[in-house]
Amino acid sequence: ENILQKTRAPFSTNSFDAFISPNILNLSSFVKLMKKLQEIHPEASSDKIVNALLEVKNDNNGILSGLPISSIMERTSAIL
């Protein structure tokens, strides 16, 4: 017996829509946040913005999720 035949889930053309990885969503939010911060702080390099975001993350017990984007932007801007 082929074990793969027993464990294979049926494929649906809508399956991708139903199972979008949280990492994809996080990446999308990160890209949007980076663009906004680059618009506000054109003098800051991408590396400097990322380092400031990491500092905000570290100051918030190592997580950014749960913080409003506006709060993340304010805190990051204060560091920059």
Going by pLDDT thresholds of 50, 70 and 90, the confidence category of residue 66 is confident
One-letter amino acid for residue 79 of the chain: I
Residues 58, 56: Cα–Cα separation, whole Å: 5
Kindly state the average pLDDT of the residues 68-80: 94
What total of structural domains would you count in the chain?
1
Q: Tell me the CB-side half-sphere exposure of residue 64, using CA atoms within 13 A.
A: 20
pLDDT higher at 34 or 9: 34
Residue 15 resides in a domain: no
Residue 55 resides in a domain: yes
Domain that holds residue 61: 44-79
Q: pLDDT, tens digit, for every residue of 10-65?
A: 444 444 444 444 555 567 888 889 999 999 999 999 999 999 999 999 999 988 88
Residue 21 resides in a domain: no
Say what the pLDDT of residue 23 is: 53
Residue 48 resides in a domain: yes
pTM: 0.66
Residue 1 resides in a domain: no
Say what the pLDDT of residue 27 is: 73
